[in-house]
Amino acid sequence: MTGYGQAQWRRAGRSVSVEVRAVNQRFLEVKLNMPREYFPWEAELRTLVQEQVARGKVDISIFRGGANGSEVTVEANLALAKEYVEAWRALQQALHLSGEIDLGLLQGRSELLRVVERRGDPGTELDAVRATLKRALRVFNRDREREGRALTRDMMARVQQLRQLQKRIALRVTQLLPQLAARLRERLTTLLEGRDIKEERVMQEAALIVERSDVTEELVRLQSHLTALADLLRGRESAGKKLDFLLQEVHREFNTIASKSADLEVTDLTLEARSEIEKLREQVQNLE
């Protein structure tokens, strides 16, 4: 299921930002993009994601604030500066020079100052990264739940449509025996050219045809599968893989009904049902 979440952490000049993005995919694939300093924590961070997400292609981007988390300071070489001042004073006394010795004598001497870069210990940021990732995942899941509610409403409507089709097929099947008997009687009358037809024999032949095309077991299993589908859609647990499996079973039952029945109306109803199933299969790929 698609979704997006972001969270940030800031403290004492440091910052951590986490972005979570996901697109639909049948299985879970987690990709972590983060600073090199965080590589030792990859397994732990990946586990945090896997605890919250079951399906989808998930991209996690972690950004470390500042110059790669470093702090830059300028330090004075006091010992060398003192040596300079003492040397000037010695010259002043030896040569009886007038004037004041001040900061101007030291300006422009780059060796008296040095730039020091201190990299922060990334280990101290583990708790911050972990907490920020969890918050980003919570935002991400809220976004997915919003989409999931809309998808669930659409899928529930399609499951109800499949239930109606199942009931119409069941009703149609009960009407087949008298219709088959009437058609068989009409055909025999034509073939026998008006001679007497035993009604008992006609009903026996019609019953044999109906028995060969009996789909009672398929209709019973179909009703059970559709009830299970509706229950899963109403639930709160991750059900994407279970829904995918049940839809395969529903598709199989409708296919079997279509292959057994020689009735055009039943065939048309199964075609309509299979169209709804394909739409449900597409939607299931978006659910976890």
Give average pLDDT by consecutive 10-residue segment, the chain, 288 residues.
87 86 85 90 92 88 70 79 86 83 77 69 80 93 84 90 92 74 62 59 60 78 92 79 89 90 86 92 76
What pLDDT score does 273 carry?
93
Residue 32, classified by CB atoms within 10 Å of its CB into exposed (0-12), middle (13-18) or buried (19+), is middle
**Cβ partners under 8 Å of residue 165, min gap 6:** 269, 270, 272, 273, 276
Please answer whether residues 33 and 61 qualify as being in contact, where contact means their C-beta atoms are separated by less than 8 angstroms: yes
Side chain identity at 70, as an amino acid letter?
S
The order of strands in the sheet holding 3-11 is 3-11, 14-23, 56-64, 28-33
Task: Report how far residue 160's alpha carbon sits from residue 207's, in angstroms, rounded to the nearest whole number.
Answer: 32
Tokens 């669930």, located at residue = 152
d(CA 191, CA 77): 120
- pLDDT of 131 reads 93
Beta bridge partners of 67: 70
The 8-class DSSP code of residue 96 comes to T
pTM of model > 0.95:
no
Phi/psi of residue 237, nearest 5 degrees: -85, 160
Q: Are strands 28-33 and 56-64 parallel, antiparallel or unpaired?
A: parallel
What are the helix (H) ranges across the chain? 42-52, 78-95, 126-174, 176-192, 199-212, 216-234, 240-260, 264-284
Is-contact 132 7, C-beta < 8 A? yes
